[in-house]
Structure 1
Amino acid sequence: MTDQLLRARRGRMAVAAMFLANGFIIGSWAPQIPLVLSRLEISETTLGLLILIFGLGALVAMPWCGYLMSRHGSRAMLRIFAVLSSFALLLVALAGSVWAAAPMVFFLGGTIGAMDVAMNTNAVTVEKRLGRAIMSSSHGFWSLGGFFGGALGGLAIQAFGHLAHAAMVTLVTLAIVAAAYGYLSDGDKPAPSEQVRFRWPTNPLVYLVGFMALFSMIPEGAVLDWAALYLQQEMGSDIATAGFAFAAFSATMATMRFMGDGVRNRFGAVNTLRVSALIAASGMMVAGMAPDAWTAIAAFAFAGLGIANMVPIAFSAAGNQPGVASATGMSVVTTMGYSGILVAPSAIGFIGERTGFAPIFVSLAGLLVVVCLMAGLARSADFVAHQPAE
């Protein structure tokens, strides 16, 4: 094994650890959200505005991180924002009023969003070094971190309180980041003579790939925020049953993400994306037309199998666009894609209140069919390795 290949494989594990840490913070934030309502004595409307501020922080930071990476590379930015995001949840937990919480929530969303862009860009660098796909399994580690963060968070808060929980999240995240810190790949750092002023790309393919990411993530956000309510209000299921909707969706998505790199390496990004989009569309269509709750849950689980690899392929395509720096392409596509989770669900809730959620899930299947038709635009994800694996 060459020294270069060994460094690439260490870089692969290091960036996987960063995905794990990012997912762990997001998962740990989820059980803290209801406590913000009670401890700050605010209304649900105000809490909704704070959640929107979280999303705005991410959407503002993502293109800014792209500019910084165009000058300093993804490794430097990933290190900085990983450390900053480790403390962000603790700062939110320390806030004693809504006016103090608002900027801290913006900081949490911003650091998480910037870290997300940097780690996805760094994963593209590792893919080029290894000569094989690693993006899907990297997102699998993110899902795994989110699972542990959410599952353990409620128990920790109940046992030790919200502040102690936030402090523990900071310590655990810092430990993960420290273990990965020295092994991250740095192959995308521009030479001083190559540093240019950040510009929005003129290549329209970058924005079309961004729409593919957006159309893939809107259904994910819809299942996350509204599937349980759909099962309760429109199918009469109890709370326990309704909770299985996103749980089943997440389980199949995480499992498929760990399998996805092998599938993509064998069949290619375009074919994998095309079939994945059809599977996801079928699942969402059946979920919207399901006669009972358990059929809908099974359909959401089937949709998770398809959605799992769609966003990782779109991100790989963004980072490998000809004539566009990886940092620039990634910042554009992540910003567009994550708005599907951070912003679109609020509009879905507004519409669903008036029409019901069944027609919405059927309509979202149409977006996934559009991704299937656009799958050829992901051809750049089938890159030629800089250094083939041995």
Structure 2
Amino acid sequence: MQTTNVLQTAVRGRWAVATMFFVNGFLTGSWAPQIPVFLERLAISKFTLGVLILVFGLGALTFMPLSGYLMSRNGSRTVVRGFGAVAVFGLLLVALAPNVVLAAPAMFLFGGLIGGMDVAMNANAVAVERRLSKAVMSSSHGFWSLGGFAGGGLGGITIQAFGHVAHAALVTAAALVLFLAATRYLIAEAKPAVHEHHRFTLPRTATVYLVGLMALLSMIPEGAILDWAALHLQQELGADLATAGLAFAFFSAAMSLMRFAGDSVRNRFGAVTTLRVSSLIAAGGMLVAALSPWPWLAIAAFAFCGLGIANMVPIAFSAGGNQPGMASGTGMSVVTTMGYSGILIAPSAIGFAAEHIGFSPIFMALAGFLVIVCLMANLAHTADFAPQPAE
């Protein structure tokens, strides 16, 4: 009877953490259709928008280590609850900012809360995996993408019909309801041990940094589509706001579908082959999106790109956490930090470049980045390992 109760608790915890991934993705995806309005209502240039997106990324990279520190003392459940309870209001704070002076701290806080919640919910998903003795990480990321699809898909339509503030308020209400419904079912790890005189040192093995580079090159295109695809469709291909918002929505939908199948694909074909084929699919989609003269072809190409990118990052993270002779947390911290810097900071550089050359050449260059990942795919062989059952 006790074993049954433990299993039921773990299953509820699995769906609770999946809901947290969905909420995080929903908030992030809802930001994408707000970007064109944000640009217009603040009367700012692409350069200034790029700076504000950089501020968003700096917030996330600042709060991510803080999230790890808090988890070492309080566990992932408490930290997910803490960051999530405030993160649901982040988009509304940005939507209400009347000028750049107030928008900058709002963006920093929004990015920080999303980033802190992201690290904690990934750690909680690991706790669920140990409790269930099976992988749930790929499908958890699938729920994030599903949330991004819902946020991006409904966002443009809602903004066009009711305005950006009403949209942000509706997003906040929906995210809060989901968060409150799931938070009580999150599972807790054993009380984390407090290490005395723990010193952080960077690993000296070059391989882990090369795996981190793969994660970086995989996540830069994802960040580019999140922050700039809608603007590309609207300003360069002549799409209306509702259509432009579908670029990230369809990209996220494709990623969702493939991530839910990700564990099965990897188990059948292996991490290296999966990564190699996935990177080529992603590169092809990005190239077509860059060259397309029509909005709907570009949207379809971004979706095709999402099919490829879906499993690239989970494979890179898994390879980083399974480096020979290195603690799992050490390798994972290097790879995740490098990877997330791609999705959070690199898009600001894209904004700077787009001011001068437009988005099409940039998307072509990103296709080249994905080809580089294909050439480096052999480094992912450490991702092929047998999961250990929970003790």
Find the partner of 1:213 among 191, 212, 215: 215
Find the partner of 2:87 among 75, 85, 98: 85
Structure 2 equivalent of residue 239 of structure 1? 239
Cα deviation 1:123-147 (Å, max 9, x = unaligned): 2333344344322221221122122
Q: Within 1, Cα distance between the matches of 2:25 and 2:158? A: 17
Find the partner of 2:108 among 106, 109, 130: 106
Unaligned runs of 5+ residues in structure 2 are none
Aligned Cα RMSD in Å? 3.6
Q: Please give the TM-score of this superposition, normalised by the length of structure 2.
A: 0.81
Q: Within 2, Cα distance between the matches of 1:76 and 1:25? A: 20
Cα deviation 1:165-206 (Å, max 9, x = unaligned): 444433332332223323334347532357835554455444
Q: How does 1:198-347 map to 2 (within 5 A)?
A: 198-227=200-229, 237-239=237-239, 246-288=248-290, 298-321=300-323, 328-347=330-349
- Deviation, 1:73, is 3.2
- Deviation, 1:54, is 1.3
SS at the partner of 1:192? coil
Aligned length: 386
User: For structure 1, which segment, 346-355 or 9-18, has the greater mean C-alpha deviation from structure 2 after superposition?
Assistant: 346-355
Cα deviation 1:347-377 (Å, max 9, x = unaligned): 3344456556555444433322332233343
- Deviation, 1:19, is 0.5
Structure 2 equivalent of residue 51 of structure 1? 53
Contact 1:70 1:327 in 2 (8 A): no
Structure 1 equivalent of residue 11 of structure 2? 9
Cα deviation 1:5-41 (Å, max 9, x = unaligned): 43333222121111111011112333444554566x5
- Deviation, 1:260, is 1.7
Change (3 A) 1:245 1:36: closer
Contact 2:146 2:256 in 1 (8 A): yes
SS at the partner of 1:385? coil
What amino acid sits opposite 1:88 in the alignment?
G
Structure 2 equivalent of residue 144 of structure 1? 146
Q: How does 1:348-359 map to 2 (within 5 A)?
A: 348-351=350-353, 357-359=359-361
Find the partner of 2:173 among 162, 171, 174: 171
Structure 1 equivalent of residue 30 of structure 2? 28
Q: Within 2, Cα distance between the matches of 1:184 and 1:72? A: 14
What amino acid sits opposite 2:44 in the alignment?
S
Q: Within 1, Cα distance between the matches of 2:105 and 2:80? A: 22
What amino acid sits opposite 1:75 in the alignment?
R
Contact 1:264 1:272 in 2 (8 A): yes
- Deviation, 1:94, is 4.5
What amino acid sits opposite 2:67 in the alignment?
C
Unaligned runs of 5+ residues in structure 1 are none
Q: Within 2, Cα distance between the matches of 1:175 and 1:245? A: 27
Change (3 A) 1:285 1:37: closer
Contact 1:57 1:107 in 2 (8 A): yes
Q: Please give the TM-score of this superposition, normalised by the length of structure 1.
A: 0.82
Q: Within 1, Cα distance between the matches of 2:34 and 2:321? A: 34
Change (3 A) 1:108 1:7: same
Change (3 A) 1:325 1:16: farther
Q: Within 2, Cα distance between the matches of 1:232 and 1:95? A: 23
Change (3 A) 1:363 1:160: closer
Identity across matched positions, percent: 66
Q: Within 1, Cα distance between the matches of 2:206 and 2:302? A: 33
Q: Within 2, Cα distance between the matches of 1:90 and 1:296? A: 29
Change (3 A) 1:355 1:95: closer
Change (3 A) 1:304 1:29: closer
